[in-house]
Structure 1
Amino acid sequence: MKRTFYLTSLFSILSFTLTAQSALIPIETANNALVLHITSSKDLQTIYYGRRLSDTTEYTLVPAAYRQPGDPSGLFNSAYTPSGSRNLIEPAISVTHADGNYSLDLRFVSQQVTRISDDVSQVAILLKDPVYDFEVTLYYKSYYKEDVIEQWSAIRHHEKGNVILHKYASANLHLQAESYWLRQYHGDWAKEMQPEEARLTHGIKTLDSKLGARADLYQPPVFMVSLNKPATEDEGTVLYGGVEWSGNFRIDLEVDPQDNLRILAGINNYASPYTLAPNEVFATPPCWYSLSDKGKGDASRKVQRWARDHKLLDGKGARLTLLNNWESTYFDFNEARLAELLKDTKKLGVDLFLLDDGWFANKYPRNDDHAGLGDWQPNRSKLPNGITSLVKEAQTDGVKFGIWVEPEMVNPKSELYEQHPDWVVKQAKREEHYFRNQLVLDLTNPKVQDFVYGVVDNLFTQNPALAYIKWDCNAVMYNAASATLKDQSHFYVDYVHGLYKVLERLRAKYPKVPMMLCSGGGGRVDYGALQYFSEYWPSDNTDPLERIFIQWEYSYFYPAIASSNHVTDWGKQPLKFRTDVAMMGKLGFDIVVSKLSPNDLQYVTSAVNTYNTIKDLVWQGDQYRLSNPSDNSVASILYMDEGKSRGVVFSYLVNARYGAGSPLPIRLKGLDPAKKYHIREIDLYPGVASSLEKGKVYSGDFLMKVGINPDVHTGRASVVLALNEDK
């Protein structure tokens, strides 16, 4: 089977041969340059990654500017480090040749350049082993305006027999600085995106996952590295990066003997040696990275723009505001109760009603999470008229209808498991071990791929007006094995390819239907998956205080339009606080509307209207973090439009101690210093007046140098301010 992520034949390709005078390959973006060098022996090296130079010929002067210990191998700064020959450090690629030899050497042969658009270019560099008929093509896809580069590799051979790939990284970066500070993340269910920062020392720091599915549960595939000192929001040089892969990933960060930093990222080779037949192509998933010398805020804005413009499904489009039934009903509902919730959806003023878990299975009804997964027929007891009647009822009520599925999973207590035990990921001779009372279906099996595709396709076929899918994935893999896969060491890799095949088929038929990427919270958030989904679920923890911190950390890597934030009954904060926090993304509700007090109902319907006036700023505006909740009593974030004429500031009290609040003004960012801005408080609770002076006009210069005080305290725990240019 041929695996590729990008087919260069889709584009017109300009090919040329390097001369002695053009032994450099600069991959440039608006502000940065990644410079590769071909040595006289045809080794491909990374000699520079940093601010681009005005004169590209001066990149040849870079190596002499560093006085470092010798490199006896000549491979410390290899652009794609092979193993088993001269290499002495962590390899990007390791193989066993058809004759059993473990050594690999990769020398430059040629390059091809593709101009994809005014913003996007792609360089393909062919490397070959001078002894074995083995080759690797390195791809560098640069996004000029956004300062983002994607890198991946395509591996092929023409040997007389199979070759085994033991390691196969996507990217192999080389950085030079005085010191390196890694900001990484860990977590668990309801504790996603917990940050840690420390200086990297000699040796190898590995960030990885071995969970198979829901791979981000404990460790997300993103990181940031500050050079020379920890970067702040607005100062310092920082590299952001991530792996676009929805399975096991691995990121190695090695401070080498020359005190330089090597970063190798891609699929985790854990339990995954891959047998490659002659002429077969193994294409690794892209790894993305972006560099900024203006701090973490500038880096994240570049990444967010890149994601909206190039990676996220419909990143420049609209999103639906919804009401979900999960925390209102859990598994306990029927047609009559859902009919009431549909009317509540209309009353609330949102776009869509989402029916969550519990609507399916008959022999083993889905009345809790112990049974029914895999049996995707409407439960006749709860829904005697099926899903179709609910979709029609929603249309009558003037709202859209969406539904929850978890098609990759199965409960042992299900008809699917009884009929197809060979479709389940498990070791035949070992005792089954369950995660949330369920197992994972084997997506390496084409029959299972057809089944999973059919689950979603049948819902759309039977209900053409279905407007939204919440796609869940709640289990990890235990006893990982396939009943049908010939080579079990291919399992973890081929599972993800199987998942992507299903999603590609669905998107080919339903290209624009919004789908939420849910995985027990943020268990599967990466740009490999987000090319198929319009949004992700950051966490099942919807306590608004916790969500401020979780959403804050996600925002370094993902745009607000992709973050699905629901107002629920978690936490002790007022309804306004919960709603204001959820507005920092794609707003949704999971509340019992019928139980709201008159004032709460009045507030929340007004809040939906308010959100509709500012959601374009949140979704497409530039995000500026103003006050970090980890360092201050108040968290504050600004979203500003590209023309610097409109903005919205969210501020929240995150410290409940006596006297906590905002004694000092908060300085804004991203404004035009020459413009005048009118500021007013919005999203007020009924009967509550703003404590801020009305009609006041400030210059952008004043607001960025002095600031404005939102007057946050225990009596005003969340404040939303609208900025409009005064013309």
Structure 2
Amino acid sequence: MTTPAESRQWTLRGEHTEYTVAVPGHGRWLELVGWGPHGVTAGPSPVAYTGPTPFLTAGDYAPVEYATDAVRPFAGAELVVELPTGDRRVSWAFQDATGDDRQLRVLFTDPVTGLRAGHCYRMADGTDVIERWVELHNPGDTTLLLVEAASAGFTMPTPHGARVSYQWGQWAQEFQLDHVDLGRGRFSVGSSQGVPGHLFVPWLAVRDRVDDGPTWGVALAWTGSWEISARRDTGGLTRVSVGRHLADGPLELPPGATLTLPVAAGAYSDDGLTGLARVWHTYQRGLAGDRLDRVRPVLYNSWEATGFAVDAGNQLALARTAADIGAEAFVVDDGWFVGRHDDRGGLGDWSVDAAKFPDGFDAFIAEIRAMGLVFGLWVEPECVSPASRLYARHPDWVYAVDGRPQTLVRNQLLLDLGRPEVAEFVHSTVDGLLRRHDIGYLKWDFNRPRTEPGRSGPGAAVDLDGAHVANLHRIYARLRRDHPDVTIEACAGGGGRTDLAMAAHADVFWPSDNTGPLDRLAIQHGFLHANAPHLLSSWVTDAPGLFDPRPRSLAFRFVLAMAGVLGIGADIRHWDAAQRAEAAAWIARYKEIRGVIMRGEVHLIGGPDQERCAVQYTAPDGATVVVLAWHTGRLHGPGSLPSRPVRLPLRGLGRQAVYRRGEQEYSGSHLSAVGLPVRWTTDHDAELVVLHRVDPGHVVSPRYFTEPASTPCTK
């Protein structure tokens, strides 16, 4: 890190990258100098511009890190502050800076209002992710209105145009990876739903349009409404602004108050989108901390088998079969509590329905535990049914606008978690369940967005979105502290609540309610670009695809679900002996490789819309390589016409190393340059391949040029 005060330039160093910023001589802003591999700053800055700016200002062209509307009045700002008089145009003056090559805090103040802004940076340990946020403090005697309050602006050089990658979706079709070429202008994604939502993911990647190497990414640690926008200017820079979307209007910053904005994370890779994915994976493993070491169990979830019709008899029958095929946890989904016979009742009244468990709930759980299974339970504690006892007692606990009708989504209302009494109710509900019963797995669901932007009753303006998110995170933190051995799965009608903050609080995400095989393949392909495999919960079910209904084998469904944390959701009571035996074999194989899946270096090969579609996981020590592959398209006359196997080019292998699969051996060069062969037939549409690196000095045998037989469980 450069330390002389007169230079006012600082470099933060990651595992393979560096991020350099500087305060120009005028002291009006902090700007980027260079962002890329170590040494990238040793030369003229690729983002600097000192030429004329006709009809614009210098700040509109500069790579400003955090701009007010005075700094960038025309090209877009992160912070817009309004005074009680209606005046805007808060500006910055540099004060001081503290830090080292891992973290930095640069302080600016506004000469008129005295508003203080600490521009904060932290390079996450062992990663190439730069965390950025801003701390705003109002030392004055008048309330300031924050009209816009994003967390950061990131600048990328894109001289030939920007290729922006993003993920769109809807319920049952989340994480659809797509790209747009941005020649000039603005591209924006976000959510105003009070949650990250199904429509877009708080993640974006930017590359130069003609260069598939250097790739920059941004993501947001915020579980509420958000926005990410990319603007490409006429000078060849793309600037990405990321942060909260103030769906409820401006935020008040009273005298003496401090507001810390959410963390915006930036990532860099010189290996395209798949390299960027690995950077995010490393970062999210760090967010998990010691919880990454916890084995995420192979679970069975009862929802698709029984729906709301839960009773002790059908759940025990499912549990016995689940235990027989090798499941390690059994989760009772929706329908276990009083008043819950469909989606019109019960939420809020979190008492076990004694009629469904006549021998007692704890006796039921004991039977599950006696089978060797961890017991899990579904809850949706932030929502309430209008017919519930809770709503009758506390109608003021839900979001509402006085005098306006309330909107039902999935026949339920949303509790105002920002109220202290509501937060205490939600925490005590979940905490009480975990203390009273032997629960080792918790599925926390959230099946509706916030529609009413108000709180019933008189009172000052409230940051509803911020209060809800803050209390949600506090509740998770308390549960983590008091119940460290409970695995928590975050769900929001599927993948409606996935962001970096939840990745730090939850153990696993449920990415979609759609478990159809080819639909799910596309969902998981996008998911793994933004999220690590330890966060990916995936089930084997009998469900057909909603968007691509082509049938696929049970093997396909198992290999697909092995891409993350394996689960089963089918009605296994109706599986025949052969299906159960096949399931048991797949589960046993998964347990052998899940350590590599959870911690391995991930390479995404091809995609669901290509002939090649696979994911490679390489163990941290490089000794084991797991490849999951799926047949996505047409067959090319196998057995009737000349055809060759599909070749999957593997990555990150030792060129001279030798890798063995059963009796077959390959060199690393062969697997990288030629590829691992897989041959699809009408009966064989998925492959699990495990390669073991042979000790150094081993000579490749003549079997090198033979192809192994294709069987799903072949090592």
2:578 aligns to what? Answer: 599
Compared CA separation, residues 26 and 484, structure 1 to 2 (3 A)? farther
2:379 aligns to what? Answer: 405
Output the CA distance in 2 between the equivalents of 1:706 and 1:154: 52
2:534 aligns to what? Answer: 561
SS at match of 2:530: coil
Q: Would you say 1:479 and 2:456 are equivalent positions?
A: no
1:155 aligns to what? Answer: 136
Q: Which runs of 5+ in 2 are unaligned?
A: 545-550, 696-715
2:65 aligns to what? Answer: 79
Find the partner of 2:556 among 553, 565, 577. 577
1:688 aligns to what? Answer: none
Deviations 1:694-716 (A, max 9, x none): x1211111111112211123221
2:624 aligns to what? Answer: 646
Query: Contact between 1:313 and 1:533, CA under 8 Å: does it hold in 2?
Result: no
User: Residue 519 of structure 1 aligns to which amino acid in structure 2?
Assistant: A
Find the partner of 1:111 among 80, 92, 97. 97
Query: Contact between 1:309 and 1:316, CA under 8 Å: does it hold in 2?
Result: no
Output the CA distance in 2 between the equivalents of 1:65 and 1:126: 22
Deviations 1:567-620 (A, max 9, x none): 111133222211111011000111223322111111111111111101011110
1:28 aligns to what? Answer: 13
User: Residue 295 of structure 1 aligns to which amino acid in structure 2?
Assistant: G
**With structure 2 as the length reference, what TM-score do the two structures score?**
0.91
Find the partner of 2:431 among 454, 457, 482. 457
SS at match of 2:676: coil
Output the CA distance in 1 between the equivalents of 2:158 and 2:371: 61
Find the partner of 2:104 among 98, 123, 129. 123
Find the partner of 1:611 among 583, 587, 590. 590
Shift of 1:493: 2.0
Shift of 1:499: 1.5
Q: Would you say 1:444 and 2:425 are equivalent positions?
A: no
Output the CA distance in 1 between the equivalents of 2:252 and 2:183: 35
Q: How many residues align?
A: 681
Output the CA distance in 1 between the equivalents of 2:323 and 2:357: 21
SS at match of 1:369: coil
Deviations 1:313-353 (A, max 9, x none): 72343211111111111111311222222222321211111
User: Residue 104 of structure 2 aligns to which amino acid in structure 1?
Assistant: V
Query: Contact between 2:354 and 2:361, CA under 8 Å: does it hold in 1?
Result: no
Compared CA separation, residues 313 and 375, structure 1 to 2 (3 A)? farther
1:132 aligns to what? Answer: 113
Output the CA distance in 2 between the equivalents of 1:451 and 1:484: 19
Compared CA separation, residues 198 and 485, structure 1 to 2 (3 A)? farther
Aligned 1:55-94 pairs, distance under 5 A: 58=42, 61-62=44-45, 69-70=52-53, 73-76=57-60, 77-84=63-70, 87-94=73-80
Q: Would you say 1:666 and 2:643 are equivalent positions?
A: no
Find the partner of 2:319 among 342, 350, 371. 342
Output the CA distance in 2 between the equivalents of 1:499 and 1:256: 38
Q: Would you say 1:389 and 2:363 are equivalent positions?
A: yes
Deviations 1:504-529 (A, max 9, x none): 22222123411101111100011111
1:635 aligns to what? Answer: 613
2:191 aligns to what? Answer: 209
SS at match of 2:542: coil
1:8 aligns to what? Answer: none
Query: Contact between 1:28 and 1:52, CA under 8 Å: does it hold in 2?
Result: no
User: Residue 635 of structure 1 aligns to which amino acid in structure 2?
Assistant: C
User: Residue 40 of structure 1 aligns to which amino acid in structure 2?
Assistant: G
Deviations 1:344-372 (A, max 9, x none): 232121111100000012xxx10111111
User: Residue 26 of structure 2 aligns to which amino acid in structure 1?
Assistant: S
Output the CA distance in 2 between the equivalents of 1:54 and 1:588: 45
Deviations 1:113-134 (A, max 9, x none): 167xxxxx22111111123211
Compared CA separation, residues 187 and 622, structure 1 to 2 (3 A)? same
Deviates further, 591-600 or 480-489: 480-489
Query: Contact between 1:444 and 1:495, CA under 8 Å: does it hold in 2?
Result: yes
User: Residue 721 of structure 1 aligns to which amino acid in structure 2?
Assistant: V
Compared CA separation, residues 211 and 55, structure 1 to 2 (3 A)? closer
Output the CA distance in 1 between the equivalents of 2:427 and 2:649: 50
Find the partner of 1:172 among 153, 163, 185. 153
Query: Contact between 2:646 and 2:678, CA under 8 Å: does it hold in 1?
Result: no
Query: Contact between 2:635 and 2:680, CA under 8 Å: does it hold in 1?
Result: no
Shift of 1:673: 1.4
Q: Would you say 1:357 and 2:334 are equivalent positions?
A: yes
RMSD, matched Cα: 2.2
2:83 aligns to what? Answer: 97
Output the CA distance in 1 between the equivalents of 2:633 and 2:92: 56
Compared CA separation, residues 435 and 67, structure 1 to 2 (3 A)? same
Query: Contact between 1:333 and 1:382, CA under 8 Å: does it hold in 2?
Result: yes
Shift of 1:29: 2.2
SS at match of 2:345: coil
Output the CA distance in 1 between the equivalents of 2:313 and 2:216: 53
Output the CA distance in 1 between the equivalents of 2:383 and 2:182: 39
Q: Would you say 1:317 and 2:287 are equivalent positions?
A: no
2:700 aligns to what? Answer: none
Shift of 1:218: 1.1
2:487 aligns to what? Answer: 514
SS at match of 2:292: coil
1:9 aligns to what? Answer: none
Query: Contact between 2:625 and 2:690, CA under 8 Å: does it hold in 1?
Result: yes
Deviates further, 514-523 or 714-723: 714-723
Q: Would you say 1:198 and 2:172 are equivalent positions?
A: no
Query: Contact between 1:238 and 1:293, CA under 8 Å: does it hold in 2?
Result: yes
Shift of 1:211: 0.8
Deviations 1:62-109 (A, max 9, x none): 279767553752313222111146733211101123555312111221
Deviations 1:289-331 (A, max 9, x none): 1111221222111210111123577234321111111111111
Find the partner of 1:533 among 498, 501, 506. 506
Q: Would you say 1:498 and 2:471 are equivalent positions?
A: yes
Output the CA distance in 1 between the equivalents of 2:40 and 2:509: 43
Query: Contact between 1:45 and 1:75, CA under 8 Å: does it hold in 2?
Result: no
Find the partner of 1:248 among 225, 240, 243. 225
Shift of 1:226: 1.1
Q: Would you say 1:260 and 2:237 are equivalent positions?
A: yes
Identity %: 26
Find the partner of 1:221 among 182, 186, 202. 202
Compared CA separation, residues 278 and 17, structure 1 to 2 (3 A)? farther
2:275 aligns to what? Answer: 298
Compared CA separation, residues 475 and 55, structure 1 to 2 (3 A)? closer
1:685 aligns to what? Answer: none
1:686 aligns to what? Answer: none
Find the partner of 1:696 among 664, 688, 692. 664
Deviations 1:608-655 (A, max 9, x none): 1111101011110011122322222x4111111122210111111111
Output the CA distance in 1 between the equivalents of 2:206 and 2:423: 38
Query: Contact between 1:373 and 1:410, CA under 8 Å: does it hold in 2?
Result: yes
Output the CA distance in 1 between the equivalents of 2:400 and 2:279: 42
1:547 aligns to what? Answer: 520
Output the CA distance in 1 between the equivalents of 2:30 and 2:496: 36
Deviates further, 137-146 or 407-416: 137-146
Shift of 1:204: 2.5
SS at match of 1:556: helix
SS at match of 1:511: coil
Query: Contact between 2:287 and 2:503, CA under 8 Å: does it hold in 1?
Result: no
Compared CA separation, residues 422 and 128, structure 1 to 2 (3 A)? same
Compared CA separation, residues 74 and 511, structure 1 to 2 (3 A)? farther
Output the CA distance in 1 between the equivalents of 2:374 and 2:113: 59
SS at match of 1:671: coil
Query: Contact between 1:186 and 1:194, CA under 8 Å: does it hold in 2?
Result: yes
Deviates further, 166-175 or 560-569: 166-175
Aligned 1:363-378 pairs, distance under 5 A: 365-378=339-352
Find the partner of 1:51 among 36, 42, 48. 36
